[in-house]
Amino acid sequence: MKSENQQFSSDKKLPHIIYLWLGDKIFKVVTVVLGATIILITLGMAWVLFQEGSLAIYEFGFFEFLTERTWDPAVRLLFGAWPFLFGTLITSSVALIISFFPAVAVAIFSAEYAPKWLAEIIDNLIKLIAAIPSVVIGIWGIFILAPWLRDVVYTPITLWAENNYPDLLPLLGNPMGYGIATATIVLALMIVPYTTALAKDAIKAVPKDQREASYALGSTRWEVIRMAVLPYARGGIMAGAILSLGRAIGETMAVAMLIGNKNTLPFTVFGAGATMPSVIVNEFREAVESLHLSSLMAIGFILFLIALIVNLTAAYIQRRLSIGGGQVI
């Protein structure tokens, strides 16, 4: 008892200032410095990418760099980002279009129709699939999906076009299996879990009153979903879709492994292509000319800008499109 008292009083006397006043100051300063580190990293990333890419941007001009169709690191040292910008936009937007409705359907099914145990299985499966590293999906694509697509889908279509519509052939391109179409299909598979999870969150956030009011008016289950739940959740669903688009735009490894990596336009449906991340992966380690390196950094800077715009748009839609000012989360 005595010793306890002694310890207590000595505790109270000795570090009083550190404990009460200085402790809080230090704590606040440390947390603010750690928080500011994240701000610095983000700003630093933008600055570093711009700084390193500025050589190419000044050499060619920003808009000329964006729209120039030639990428020639070997002979002329002429660099333009258009093939990669085009490749990125076409693969990721088509992937989103393919995957959007099935993903929302899964979200509706697991949130509204499925019994609890099934919904839990679907949920866990979706989350597990979202966690598969993209290189693992890439190796599956290289050795299983691409050969299968080539034999079962691309070659028959090409043969059919050859017999019936020979004009289509230049558009379809060489059905070797590694190309724009394969990369798009894999991207669609990869973003389905994100769209589904975010759409389900949005649907789950719809208040019970909405549903009950609709049921009270005599709606069927599907009418409740269509007229009460989906309009309320549409902001969250759209924001989720745009975030998934951002995922697809930034997806690197699986695309670099499957797209075939061809730096010249025109791209064909089955033929090889390239995206902004894939060209960085493929050429960065081998780039020797400083202009080449700088052009790759400039592509990184453009990718940064696109990702920034996509994320801000998603946040904006989330706020604006939801009924009632967007209570989604």
Partner 1 sequence: MVGILCVSTVAVLLPLIIIIVHVFIEGFSALSYEFFTEELGSPSRAIQERPTGLVHTIIGTIVVDALALIIAVPIGIGAGIMLSEYPEHVLNPSLRIMNDTLNGMPAILKGLFVFVLIVKPMGTFSGLAGSVALSVVMLPIIARTTESALQSIPWTIREAGLALGLPRWMVVFSTVIPAAKTGLITGVLLAFARAVGEAAPLLFTSFGNNYLPNNWWGFIVDPTDTLPQRLYSLAISPYEQWHGMGWAAAIVLFGIVMITFMIARFLTRDKLQYKQ
Sign of the four-CA dihedral 208, 209, 211, 216: positive
Are 269 and 173 in contact by the 8 Å Cβ rule? The answer is: yes
SS3 breakdown of the chain: % helix, strand, coil, rounded to 5? 80, 0, 20
Q: Which of residues 51-70 bind partner 1 (CB under 8 A)?
A: 52
* 134 lines the binding site for partner 1 (CB under 8 A): yes
Residues numbered 70 to 99 that lie near partner 1 (CB under 8 A) are none
Q: Which of 83, 235, 236, 250 binds partner 1 (CB under 8 A)?
A: 250
Q: Which of 92, 110, 263, 295 binds partner 1 (CB under 8 A)?
A: 110
Interface pick for partner 1 out of 94, 187, 237, 303 (rule CB under 8 A): 303
All residues at 6 or more sequence positions from 209 whose CB lies less than 8 Å from its CB, including other chains: none
CA–CA separation, 110 vs 153, rounded Å? 31
Region binding partner 1 by CB under 8 A among candidate stretches 24-32, 63-71, 155-163, 202-210: 24-32
Is-contact 271 260, C-beta < 8 A? yes
Contact stretch for partner 1 (CB under 8 A) within 72-80, 89-97, 104-112, 162-170: 104-112
Q: Which of 37, 70, 290, 327 binds partner 1 (CB under 8 A)?
A: 37
Angle at 190 between CA 174 and CA 113, to 5 degrees: 125
Cα(254)–Cα(138) distance, rounded to whole angstroms? 4
Of 181, 103, 192, 178, the residue nearest 146 (C-alpha) = 178
Structure-token match 């699939």, residue found: 129
- Under rule CB under 8 A, residue 316 binds partner 1: no
Stretch that binds partner 1, among 55-63, 66-74, 89-97, 103-111 (CB under 8 A): 103-111
What is the identity of the amino acid at 185? I
Taking CB under 8 A as the criterion, the residue among 129, 157, 168, 176 binding partner 1 is: 129
Residue 160's Cβ-count burial label (10 Å; 0-12, 13-18, 19+) is: exposed
Asked if 273 interacts with partner 1 (CB under 8 A), we say no
Beta carbon nearer to partner 1, 154 or 172: 154
Binding residues among 184-223 for partner 1 as defined by CB under 8 A: 189, 192-193, 196, 222
- The one segment of 57-65, 100-108, 233-241, 319-327 that binds partner 1 by CB under 8 A: 100-108
Q: Does 124 bind partner 1 (CB under 8 A)?
A: yes
Residues between 221 and 240 with contacts to partner 1, criterion CB under 8 A: 222
Q: From the list 7, 44, 323, 327, which residue makes contact with partner 1 (rule: CB under 8 A)?
A: 44
Which residues sit opposite 79 in a β-bridge? 71
Helix (H) or strand (E) holding 265: none
Residue 287, interface with partner 1 (CB under 8 A)?
no
